[in-house]
Chain A
Amino acid sequence: MNPLVAAKRALGIGLALLSWQALAWSRVVPADYFPGLPAIAAAEWSSLRSGGFLANFGTTTVRAVGGLAIAILIGLCLAIVTGRYRLVRRMLGPFVDMLRVLPPPAIVPISIFVLGIGNQLFMFIIAFASLWPIYINAANALAVAEPVQMMTARCFGYSDWEILVRVRLPAALPEIMTGIRIGTGVALLATIAAEMLAGQSGLGFLLYDAAFSLRTPEMFAIMATIGALGLLLNALVRQASRIVAGWHIAMTALASPA
Chain B
Amino acid sequence: MGVLEVRGLRKSFGGVTAVNDVSLTLDAGRIYGLIGPNGSGKTTLFNCITGLERSEGGSVTLGGTRIDGWKPHQIARRGVGRTFQVIRVFPELTALENLLVVTRGPRAMAEARAQELLRFVKLERLAGEYAGNLSYGQQKLVEFVRVLMTDPALILLDEPAAGVNRTLLNDLLEAVGRLRDRGKTVLLVEHDMKVVMGLCETVFVLDHGEKIAEGPPGRIQADERVIEAYFGR
A and B: bona fide binding partners: no
Tell me the B residues contacting A by CB distance below 8 Å: none
Tell me the A residues contacting B by CB distance below 8 Å: none
